[in-house]
Structures are given as structure tokens and as C-alpha cells.
Chains A and B, each alone.
Chain A
Amino acid sequence: MAEFHDVVLVGGGGAGLRAAIAIAETNPRLDIAVVSKVYPMRSHTVSAEGGAAGVIGADDSLDEHAYDTISGGDWLCDQDAVEAFVEEAPRELMRLEHWGCPWSREPDGHIAVRAFGGMTKMRTWFAADKTGFHLLHTLFQTSLKYTTIRRYDEWFVTKLLVDDGRVRGLVAIDVMSGKIETILARAVILCTGGCGRVFPFTTNASIKTGDGMALAWHAGAPLKDMEFVQYHPTGLPFTGILITEAARAEGGYLINKDGYRYLQDYNLGTPGPTPVLRSMELGPRDRLSQAFVKEVEKGRTIDTPYGPVVHLDLRHLGERKIETKIPFVRELCQRYQNLDPVTELIPVRPVIHYMMGGIHTDLTGATPLPGLYAAGEVACVSINGANRLGSNSLPELLVFGARAGRAAAEYAANSRPPGDASYALLAQANDERHRLEQLFARTSSGGVRLAALREEMQTTMEESAGIYRMAEPLRRAAGTLCGLRERAAVAAIDDRSLTFNTERLARLELSFMIDVAETIVRAALRREESRGAHQRTDFPARDDRRFLAHSLVHRRSDGGAFVEYLPVTITRWPPAERVYGRAHA
């Protein structure tokens, strides 16, 4: 027997909850389901630290936020999407205020804003340095008052059901019972976030395995700009825990083993005692991460058991400023690295942080597959282009979560219930159930551990699709991934229990990750230029003539893939050089 809901959301993080509330408010007659593999407040939105950009100051303008976003994205952003985004971002952030989000305040009670990397004006709203945590909990708690939202907590989605070209439901495992269930719907919105776990060293939580991207790809929706993977320049070694950009916005220095502020050697401006927007430590993330690699090559980094690091120096800020402005940074250093930034240097290195690419959607969050929508990191509208600016992702999930919710609500209200299609859908669901049962029943075939395969995939990705890329390693990686998929197909699952079987989930996640990894490698191989986060040592220049375009990776019905290109939408800002560390036009 299948459940039925008008709109089903997959993922209960910031985008999913914002979308759910948007649907509930747009049309109270619609029956909404939020299906998530974790309880919503465990979602990875919770980890975002620094803030959320939205124009609020009298000296600021929407055009300036748009320009910073577009130039930061190395002109790969769709400018109509960016214009919609910067216009709606302040309203969405204000809506969160009305819902109770504890935004940090000025002494007079108004919203406070801070500087952030790549932004020319102070426009980043923040809730101390736990912005994502407060945003997620505010959304989750607010969502509890809508009786039309039904939650399926700890349900793992394995497949989207498509009939006659339309997405009309899904198959999921109820993790607690192990039962394989079917949920039919008029529309499905994917809000499952990113896929940082395809790499070995990431700020992403263990749940970020690209599930939604893989689900959409298998259902027939293309993935866009997957080659653009953002490194964050300052992660703690070993854990990958992120030290927020706010630490640099408040005046932190990045120094090499000689105590030298090395960013001045990389065309990022000249060092001053106080932070300067878009300069030095407040340059964009991709450029800072690339500078780290160059420092390693020059032998100017510090060796540790976890590899080379540079230092983030906050000592000159003093205990008082660190405690009031970035207390979480101190807490993280003390609890996870056993050091105190008030008196000690913080070892940092670039870590995988964010996927600019994702499921191809239009400005309403609609994918090319009718009935399927996507929002947040899992989607690519695209406002982030080749490199996302810090503090644009939280407003993005609000703006496009709400848009996808409204669009899906309208679609659902005007579409037929599965009715006639039910028979075909249930037959598909039955096939999926059989596939899963066979997969899980596989007996041990000689010691290939899932974790070993996963680590091999992660190593392959770092070696081929890391900060710098080249054709040959990417080609080899494609082959390795193929082999990994075959070995994963016969890997044993030792756990036979139905109840909360996390090994089965790990097996399904591994498949999703290998699929997503393959699309990253394919898109990276085809893009023979360097732009934003995609740096090819064999093609070091940006090539607007060939590649001012989004890549779209499609899955062929035989399991293969092909890449095609879609022009970038340019409205008012023609492509120019990205300039940091000095005045720009």
C-alpha cells in the first residue's frame, strides 16, 4: 500500500523546510510530506557559521550585491537568477527575523551586518557565528505549527518514480523498521544538499553524499556545472572542521611558516593592519585555496602529521574581540584541536566545502522533468557560477526554497492525482523493492569493505578533481570510478538486520557518490579552461569564446553519460576580469 501526498520534499534542511512552509502558506489545502534521512534539525544547514547576505544598509544597493556575486562567480552566474536572488534575499532574511531568528543586533536593536569575503559592502546578517544553526532551528520550530506538514523522519529515499515523463513519487526505506515503502505525489522537491563526502577532506557532515543529485540524474534530469567544487581555504586538519571566514573578516591573518602574509604574493592586494574588503584575507575562496597550493610548492608551509598547513593568526585580535565576535571559532579550536586561538596559531588548510553545481533548474526551482523541483545546494539555478561567495548559500536556500515551494504548490494544485498512473508507478516501486532486496541479500564474497571502496573513490577525486586539474588524471579517474562501481556492486553487506541498518544505507550512499563523482570528472574533463573553482593546469586561461556556458551532464538510458552546454544568461554585466585587492569598475 502506498502513501500519497500532494507535494513531497526530500530533505529537511534549510531549503526543504523553507519550501514546506512556503507550500503550507501558499495553499493550506495541500498535503505536504518532508522525507529526510535524518531528523530535520540534524541537517547540514546546522553547520553554517558565518552569515547570510542581503542588502540592508543605506550605502548599499542590490546592483552591488549582484555585481559582487557575478564577478565572484567568474561570470558563470545566470544574471537574471542573481537579480531575483539579491532582490528577494533581504525579504527572506527579514521573514526569518519575524519568525524569531536571533540575528545579532546593533546596540539600538537594529539588525547588525558584517563584512564577508568577496563582498564590497557590509551586508552579511549573522547570528553570532552559528548562523546556520539558528536559521535551521528557527525554520524547524516554525514548521511545527503547520498541521499540513507531515514528516517522515529517518526515511532514506532510493528512487524517484517517473511515469509518462513526470515525477510522481518515490521509494524509500523506513530506516527504523527497514521496510521499503512507496510514497506517491503530484510533485517532488529535492532539497538534499551537497556531496562533499565524495572527497576525502571536507567540512561536510557525514550525511552529505549527493543523494538528491544522484536521484535526479537517474530519473533523467541533467546535472549542471558539476565541475565547480568549492574549497574553503581554512579548515582544521584531520577533522575538516571549518574555521569561518568571519575569523578573517574580524581581522585574522593567514601566514606561512615564516610568519609572512603570503597572499600579497598572489595578486590579492597589500597587507594592512585591518581587514579591507575583497583584499588579502578577504579575497575569494578559490584564489585563497590556490595560493595555498603554490605555497606548498614553494616549501613555505608547515608540515604536520596530517600534511602541510598554513597558520591562521587571531592572536592580535585579543580575547575580548574573539569572545564577542567569533566565540564558536574559539570553542571549536579548544574542543577539537586542543588549542586556544587567543594565544596560539591555528593550523588550517583548504577543505572541500560546497558544490556550485547541482540539479539543473530554472528560476522557479523547476527541473526539466515535469513534477520535479530542486532547491538549495542540491540545485544549480545558477547564482553561484564558478565560485560561490561566502554568505550567499543561506539566502539562496531561503529564496529558492520558497520559490520552489510556491512553484510546486501551483503545479500540484493543477495536476491530476496519480490515479490512472498508479498501476505503472506501483509496478516500478515493486521493481525497486526487488532490486534493493537482492542488493541487501548479497553474501560475503571475500572481504571488500565498503569503507575501502569509499576511500578509494575519495582519493581518486582529490587526485584528479582537486584544486588543480589536468586531462590525464581526470581520464584515469573516470576509469577508476567505473571499476569502483563494478566492485561496489558485488561488495558484501554483513549486516542482515532490518532494524536501523546503517550498513545498507552506506552501500546506497556509496552508489550515489560514485554517480556524482562520475559527473564531476566528466564535466571537469570537458571544460578546457580555468574559471573560478575549476583550474586546469593544462588550460590556465578563462576561455569565454568556448566556455561562457553551463555544462549539463545527462545520463543515457544505457547508463552512460554525455555532456552538453547551455549559454549563460547575461543581463547587465558583460564578462570582465575578476579583480581583487584594488579598486574595480
Chain B
Amino acid sequence: MRDRITAQSRSTDHITDHITLQVTRYRPEIERETTMQTYEVPCPKDWVILDGLNYVKDRIDGTLSYRWSCRMGICGSCGMTVNGEPKLTCATFLSEYAPGPVRIEPLRHFPIVRDLVVEIGDFMRKLTSVKPWIIRDREREKPLSDGEYLQTPDEMHEYKQFSMCINCMLCYSACPIYGLEPSFIGPAAIALAQRYNLDTRDQGAEERLAVLSEHAGIWGCTFVGECTKVCPKNVDPAGAIQRYKLQAAVESLKSYFMPRGSR
């Protein structure tokens, strides 16, 4: 029993097919530009792209760098560009690309730090800028002992999909606007703002609108819709942006006709 458990967990004996990975390499101390390196890896049916990279790292070339953690599509670490498309590499089967080769590059539109690792500081600042926390009117604040803020399943449904974002940044990598205009606040940050705006427990929409109405906020988007197509969690950031624009337009009209206090 023990032997069987041990032997099988790492065994690759049952694997016959192989596939070629073409992987971006970049070590800033050594290379001035990125290069491509080729590796041959096994390709069993249940291996994902990430399993192929781990095979390289563990058995062929320990110098390859990339981010990964959960291998179950929830931590958001392992987004890369696979044959030109942004993908979560833990949720993309290698066999889909048979007979290969498969080209694995870092996420586009972000500065490359090293090999498949990109710099995400700009993304993190944008997430923070939309104030992604509950902003409640003072008079609605209540102590914990008064229990929960009631919210029906239908009310939750309004914002639920926008709360499913895992911050994998595939949408930024797919967004042609972000590619051209790095100050564009981007799909995930706008979806996150909507996640709170549409929550019945939150009254911060106006504050967030101020951030998003700036030139690089929602108005940058021209409804290309690539963000929604690549989202591995079906968040629909494009829908969030569209709703937001409508709301922003209504608010700006209101501000023409009504004094601020009466809204």
C-alpha cells in the first residue's frame, strides 16, 4: 500500500507522448533582450502547461523562473501568454496544443522582470485606487452585536460575479487599450469598483466614481470586450465598464440639474 502510493505520485512511466515548449528567457544581468529556449517535456492527458514548466524546472533547467502556487485556478499567480493568448497555465491542458510546439511567454503589457515573471506594481496600485472596501454611511453603521446587514440572494447576485476576480491580470494582458495607454485603470479594477458599488451594504459609489471618471478611468475603454473573453472566472469586466459609463453619464447629467446636497 505505502509503496504504491509513493511510486505513483511522481511516476511518469505511463507517459509516451512528448511536446516541445518554446519558453521566453530573460535574465537582465545576462541578456539585453528576451530570447526563446526550447524544452522537450512529457504530455500526458491530465498535464497542464504549468506541469510542463515544473518538469523543466525540476528535471532539466533549474534556472527557469515563473510564478505559481495553488495549481487550481484560484490564487491567480500563473497567468502567461500561451501561443499568443493570455491563459492561466494551471487551467490549460498541454494536450490541447499537441503535437506542439507550444510557445510560452510572459503576460503582455507588463514590464518583464525575468523569464516569465512580470512587474505588477502598477496593477496593484490601480486596484487600491478604486477604494475596494465597504464605505458605509455613518448613520447605517451598526455594532457587531446587531448582527448582519440583511442581503437577499437576489441582491447578492447583483455584484457576485464581480467579486469572483482572482487578480490574474489576463484581462490587462488582453486589453488593447491598456497596451496603448498604461494609465488606463483597466478591466479588473473597474470590475472591483462595481463589486462594491452594487453591494447593498456599500454607499461608496460616489467616491469611487470620482476616481473612475478621470480621463484614464472608464472613459479609456472603447468596448473591445477582449477582457471578458479571456477571463477564466467569467467575471465580465466589459459589462462592468459599460454599466459604469452609463452610471457616470447619468451622474454627470444629474450634477447639471441638481445641487450636490439634494442627490
Q: How far is the CB of A386 from chain B (nearest CB, A)?
A: 22
Residue of A nearest to B192 (CB): A141
Among A67-75, A89-97, A267-275, the stretch in contact with B: A89-97
- List CB contacts (< 8 Å) of A318-333 with chain B: 331-332
Q: How far is the CB of A562 from chain B (nearest CB, A)?
A: 28
Which A residues lie within 8 Å of B113 (CB)? 176, 499-500
Which B residues lie within 8 Å of A336 (CB)? 46, 48, 72-73, 91
Which A residues lie within 8 Å of B229 (CB)? none
A497 at the B interface (CB under 8 A): yes
Which A residues lie within 8 Å of B58 (CB)? 449, 451
Quick check: A499 and B29 within 8 Å, CB to CB?
A: yes
Which B residues lie within 8 Å of A91 (CB)? 144
Quick check: B72 and A500 within 8 Å, CB to CB?
A: no
A130 at the B interface (CB under 8 A): yes
A343 at the B interface (CB under 8 A): no
Known: A100-B199, A109-B150, A145-B131. A494 touches B167 (CB 8 A): no
Known: A102-B163, A141-B132, A451-B57. A307 touches B5 (CB 8 A): yes
Quick check: B8 and A306 within 8 Å, CB to CB?
A: yes
Among B34-42, B153-161, B209-217, the stretch in contact with A: B153-161
Q: What per-residue 1/0 map shows which CB atoms of A443-463 lie under 8 Å from chain B? A: 000000111000100010011
B114 at the A interface (CB under 8 A): yes
Which B residues lie within 8 Å of A44 (CB)? 69-70, 75
Which B residues lie within 8 Å of A176 (CB)? 113, 119
* Tally of B interface residues using CB under 8 Å: 73
Quick check: A305 and B72 within 8 Å, CB to CB?
A: no
Give the residue among B46, B48, B91, B167 with the most A Cβ atoms within 10 A.
B46
Quick check: B6 and A459 within 8 Å, CB to CB?
A: yes
> Of A103, A205, A308, which one neighbours B70 at CB under 8 angstroms?
A205
Residue of B nearest to A462 (CB): B6
A335 at the B interface (CB under 8 A): yes
Q: What per-residue 1/0 map shows which CB atoms of B96-129 lie under 8 Å from chain A? A: 0000000000000000011101011000100110
Quick check: A494 and B62 within 8 Å, CB to CB?
A: yes
Which B residues lie within 8 Å of A239 (CB)? 46, 71-72
A368 at the B interface (CB under 8 A): no
- List CB contacts (< 8 Å) of A500-523 with chain B: 500-503, 506
- List CB contacts (< 8 Å) of A1-50 with chain B: 38-39, 41-44, 46-47
Quick check: B5 and A462 within 8 Å, CB to CB?
A: yes
Quick check: B201 and A502 within 8 Å, CB to CB?
A: no
> Of A130, A449, A500, which one neighbours B65 at CB under 8 angstroms?
A500
Number of A-B contacts (CB under 8 A): 193
A59 at the B interface (CB under 8 A): no
Q: What per-residue 1/0 map shows which CB atoms of B3-45 lie under 8 Å from chain A? A: 0111111110010000000000001111000000000000001
Q: What per-residue 1/0 map shows which CB atoms of A286-324 lie under 8 Å from chain B? A: 000000010011000000011110000000000000000
> Of A41, A200, A305, A500, which one neighbours B167 at CB under 8 angstroms?
A41
In the complex, what distance in Å separates the CA atom of A551 from the CA atom of B131? 46
Give the residue among B62, B133, B199 with the most A Cβ atoms within 10 A.
B62
Quick check: B69 and A207 within 8 Å, CB to CB?
A: yes
Residue of A nearest to B75 (CB): A42
Q: What per-residue 1/0 map shows which CB atoms of B68-81 lie under 8 Å from chain A? A: 11111111110000
Which A residues lie within 8 Å of B61 (CB)? 494
> Of B14, B45, B62, which one neighbours A503 at CB under 8 angstroms?
B62
B83 at the A interface (CB under 8 A): no
Which B residues lie within 8 Å of A572 (CB)? none
A490 at the B interface (CB under 8 A): no
Known: A102-B156, A206-B69. A39 touches B63 (CB 8 A): no
Known: A38-B77, A205-B69, A463-B2. A305 touches B14 (CB 8 A): yes
Which A residues lie within 8 Å of B192 (CB)? 141
Q: How far is the CB of B34 from chain A (nearest CB, A)?
A: 13
User: Interface on B for A, CB 8 Å cutoff?
Assistant: 1-2, 4-11, 14, 27-30, 45-46, 48, 57-59, 61-63, 65-77, 91, 93, 113-115, 117, 119-120, 124, 127-128, 131-134, 144, 147-153, 155-156, 159-160, 163-164, 166-167, 192, 196, 199, 201-202
6 A–B pairs (Cβ distance < 8 Å), ordered by A: A38-B77, A100-B201, A144-B128, A145-B131, A305-B11, A307-B5
Beyond the given A201-B9, A206-B71, A308-B5, please list 5 additional residue pairs across the A-B interface where CB-CB is below 8 A.
Answer: A42-B70, A241-B71, A307-B5, A337-B46, A451-B58
